[in-house]
Structure 1
Amino acid sequence: MSEKLLLLLQLCNSSLPLGAYSYSEGLETLVEKKLIIDSQGLKHWLLNELKYGSIRVESAMIVRSYHSYQAKKIEDLLYWNNWFSASRETAELRQQSWQMGKSLLRLINSFEPDNLFLQTVINNLKSSGHYSIVFGVITAHWQIEIENVLLGYLHNWVNNLVNVGVKLIPLGQTEGQKLLLNFNKEITQQLTKILSLKDDELSSCSWGLSLASIQHQQLYSRLFRS
């Protein structure tokens, strides 16, 4: 149990070279337009994204790739990877997911070079594997409990975007940590809902994120890639 927890902590560590720190997921646009100006505005945005936004579907992809890998059904893995590609609202969000997925695949390849089935999965996903799909694959391979997998992934998502807010709004480090602490209960509540999502319930209300992502490239100056 302890070893699996350590593996999960490594995957969710900000020092993992995936490039997550270089993305704002629309927050830079919202701060520039003064739609988010303080910690309460950031909390409101992230809370709505967690409950209704695309991170909900993204997390559901982890569940599906996790179980597909466990069942050794590569065709199901590829189906959900393609499905998720089609569901991405903007090219920027799709490219972010692909880039981080490719980076994680390279790491997995170096971590587990001798597992034949895992190598087959890597070869099938290497051209357009999404981060959430690949995350589900490696955590299933390491046999980390799916509940812990989702908790780690969602906490990492909130942590990354709170750090974006700390830099852009700006917020103090202490204020950022208080905000992050307040999300623990919300993440736990959403965990059960995400695990119970059926295939025909995979939807999100994220038009605000889509518009912010589209407008990001037109900003006068940018700190983040999207």
Structure 2
Amino acid sequence: MKLSAPIYHLKRRAKALSREKGISLNQALDHIATEEGFNGWSLLAARASAPVHAVELLNALQPGDLVLLGARPGHGKTILGLELLLEAMKSGHRGVFFTLEYNEGDVLNRLQMLVGDPAVIGDRFEFDNSDAISSDYIMKQLASAPRGTAVVIDYLQLLDQKRENPELATQVSALKSFAGDRGLIIIFISQIDRSYDLSARRCPDLRDVRLPNPVDLKLFNKTFFLNDGEVRMDAVG
């Protein structure tokens, strides 16, 4: 779907609309997206990027990778996570989405918008939003997952919100080892600190990851960062 203007112009219009109507920027972005024919800004931002992004990004991954996928709100990180799962499933692999943020209807609706025909993925998609989600829970659920299974965890900063869960660094380290041992691709969706909005950099990077609790980000061996439809991929280390 062709946009009426470049995405950075649409974002400027949203900022002006936010000031004019006294509404939040996220509300204004969603309003602009609706005018452009999208159900929300995150979908617009993701679909406005080159359609081959998800294919190219997935092709850059290999079994055992631990990936950090980060963006500020409204820039399409959840959509990109689902697109990566979709491409993996098109290739015959399983796709698993763990979330402490969304309900099943939200995710299935987004996936439906992306895939069109559900027959493309068959029964290879699995959704899990259990309140028990933690590294131990995820590893238990994936105990029999075949090599090449793609996993998205939404999101990093919520994984240790319960006091009884291990520290975030311990959980990420455990999942890194698990991914390597089992040949899985595990992708963490991550929040980006608000301070990035004041940065002149085109895309955020590891310096901008919001970390309420410490974790060594070098545990991730690849990163995807999004901003205004642009995706930047880097190897860590």
Q: TM-score, normalised by structure 2?
A: 0.25
Structure with greater proportional strand content: 2
